[in-house]
Structure 1
Amino acid sequence: MDTFKTPKAKRPRKSQFTPTKEGATPVKIPASPFMEKLGWGTAVSVYRMERSPKVGCIRSPWAIKRVIHRNSTSRKSRASSGNEISGRLCKEAEILKSLDHPNIVGFRAFTKSVDGRFTLAMEDGQRSLLSLIEERLEKVETSLLPVGSHDDSGNTGQLVPDMPFPAWAVLRVASGLASALRYLHEEALLMHGDMKSDNVLIKGDFDVVKLCDFGVSLKVDKNGEALDGEQYIGTRHWLPPEVISLEDEEIEWEEGDEPLPKVNTQADMYSYALTAWEMLSLKFPHCPTTEDEEEENASNSFEENLLLGTRPPFPEACLKDPSYVPVIELIHCCSDEDPDKRPTSEQAVEWLKLIEASGAMKKTVEEQENVMPNANGVQTSESPAPS
């Protein structure tokens, strides 16, 4: 009889992912075709990764942000662009790992594949605010008939210029984002630097609001001013006026001139206001919405540039509806061209607490209060917000 030998354990396969640096998390992420694509940004794609459940435990999905390869005629150009995007993703992972706040998307893992692409795994935020805005706009456009046409019942259709989100929804988003900004500005000593609807995540029926995308965030001091070497990048149509002015001053600045003014956390408050404004207008600030406007603006880009850094006009429907008064007051104050006149994130949080206490953030009409404070704390009579 042959002598029994204990079988040797097979050598475990080496993971295809390796930590990018000390502190990185080695984790196996599926190939992109095996995940649901949620969206994309500058040279990055975002997917939803469903995770296998463990015994006695249900595991929530992750949002996966991955650098994508770009085709380029120049290998040097492609490498330079890839290094910049990868650097931003590394920076975002480092920042995100250090943050802990209910209104900021949670860090899950950071790794690198064998082909050199960086991958950031985050808490799944379900939907971006931008996708909700686009979906609402599409429903509005498809449900309306052109002026002069008739539906099956013979009624003449009318074009409605806007169909904003209800006031309670805008206020919930504003409250969650203000809380996130206060944490960043006062505790983490960071400026987000790129506030817009695309960087806001929504769970449920505006039940949870989370801020994401910290790839261009700036470090600030205790006074809220950007540290030396930090550059505000942002996105063009959300740029605050002081950043636009600073860009012009940097072009003309020469050695020996007085130091240029520094951008501070109040820049976030301007972009914060325009993010709330997007929910009212269902469009990007200072952007054309029709082909005619696009053609007109293409031949007159100078006038369009003059609008950047200003407060865009409010939709007429919101100005006529009393339930939007606190929303309009908040946007109006936070989009002031003078950063010193804008409320801080702390002041916005405190004011929104008063609004929430008035019942204006409750969904159903029956739960709405008829009295809510305005920006100066004065009680004003309001009709219930639409559900």
Structure 2
Amino acid sequence: MELCSDGAVEDKLRSIGRGIPPAQRVLFSMQASRGLEYLHSKICIHRDLATRNCLLHGSVLKLADFGMCRATTCYKIDLTKPQNVRWLAPEVWKTAETKFNTDVYAFAITLWELFEIPYRTPYQEWPAYTVKERVMGGYRLQTPKEMPEAVMTLMKSCWDHDPDRRPIASEIRKQLEVINLAFNDDDNLPTGRFDVVEKDPKSATLTARSEGGKSFMGLPRAL
């Protein structure tokens, strides 16, 4: 088993807070999406995705805590037992089923955790039963003030009330790779802050665009 010597991401977010720059948070998001894509490619549902279950080794984030992971595309749960309500997709309360798209919902909450400054537990002001009722009714967390618009758009698509409208893990990873390139150094690309990722249906590209309107790059969505 690999040793991740720098502990859980949640602990780092709590202890350092604003000391983690936006570019690092974007990088963590991308790394988490790669882990989720790999897990889903192996036909496994994580079922407990959250920053507390993401570990760090230096600047590398890795998914961890696979105690609830199941090698299937659909896993029935017992709703009479305690659940991680704050990360649980609303449809699970009706179907009692966890799937890839319920992991995607949890990924959205994980994105929220990564950008909420100072860190706090999702819906921390509410008891679990209130979270359940409000989320089932369509309520979602307020967007973190320092979350880039492109990440916000992705987050909202991941927690869509309709599970069939949520992106799959590979699509999430592709979008976050584009966003990460806009935030972090690359040998062949300029750097800087870009807040919007646009989809061009004609050319099938993703483009990172600055607030001033300058295009950063276009990448095939199939990459």
TM-score, with structure 1 as normaliser: 0.46
1:311 is the counterpart of 2:140: yes
Counterpart for residue 110 of structure 2? 275
Gaps of 5+ in 1: 1-106, 108-121, 138-162, 248-261, 289-296
Provide the C-alpha distance between the structure 1 equivalents of 2:13 and 2:39, rounded to a whole number of angstroms.
26
Give the match for residue 121 of structure 2: 284
Q: Is the 8 A contact 1:128 1:199 kept in 2?
A: yes
Shift of 1:240: 0.9
Q: In structure 1, the residue corresponding to 2:91 is in which secondary structure?
A: helix
Contact kept in structure 1, 2:90 and 2:161, CA below 8 Å: yes
1:194 maps to which residue? 48
For residues 311 and 378 of structure 1, the distance between their equivalents in structure 2, rounded to whole angstroms, comes to: 27
Residue 342 of structure 1, CA deviation? 1.0
Instruction: Tell me which residue corresponds to 1:16.
Output: none
Q: Distance in 2 between matches of 1:166 and 1:308?
A: 30
For 2:185 and 2:93, locate their aligned partners in 1 and report how far apart those are by CA, in whole Å: 38
Structure 1 segment 1-387 matched on structure 2, within 5 A: 107=1, 122-137=2-17, 163=18, 165-186=20-41, 188-204=42-58, 207-220=59-72, 225-226=73-74, 230-231=76-77, 235-247=84-96, 262-281=97-116, 282-288=119-125, 297=126, 303-308=130-135, 310-315=139-144, 317-318=145-146, 324-358=148-182, 360-362=183-185, 368-371=191-194, 374-376=197-199, 377-382=206-211
Q: Which letter does structure 2 place at the counterpart of 1:348?
A: I
Q: How far did 1:302 drift?
A: 5.2
Q: Post-superposition shift, 1:216?
A: 0.7
User: In the superposition, relative to structure 1, how do residues 330 and 166 fare at CA in structure 2: closer, same or farther (>3 Å)?
Assistant: farther
Match of 1:91 in 2: none
Unaligned runs of 5+ in 2: 200-205, 213-223
Whether the 8 Å contact between 1:199 and 1:213 is mirrored in structure 2 is: yes
Q: Secondary structure at the match of 1:357?
A: helix
Counterpart contact for 1:330–1:375, Cα < 8 Å: no
> In percent, how many aligned pairs have the same letter?
22
* CA distance 1:355–1:181, shift in 2 (3 Å): same
Does the residue aligned with 1:126 lie in a helix, a strand or coil?
A: coil
Amino acid at match of 1:270: Y
- Say whether the 8 Å CA contact 1:167–1:327 is kept in structure 2: no
**CA spacing shift, 1:133–1:312, aligned 2, 3 Å:** same
How much does 1:209 deviate? 0.8
User: Which of the two has higher C-alpha Rg?
Assistant: 1
One-letter amino acid of the counterpart of residue 164, structure 2: D
2: distance between equivalents of 1:280 and 1:164? Answer: 12
- Higher RCO (C-alpha under 8 Å, 6+ residues apart): 2
Per-residue CA shift, 1:291-315, capped at 9, x if unaligned?
xxxxxx56xx754432346421113
1: CA distance between counterparts of 2:177 and 2:131? 36
Q: Partner letter of residue 135 of structure 1?
A: S
Question: How many angstroms apart in 1 are the aligned matches of 2:129 and 2:86?
Answer: 14
Give the 3-state SS of the residue equivalent to 2:67 in structure 1: coil
Kept after mapping to 1: 8 A contact 2:149/2:196: no
Whichever residue aligns with residue 213 of structure 1, its letter is D
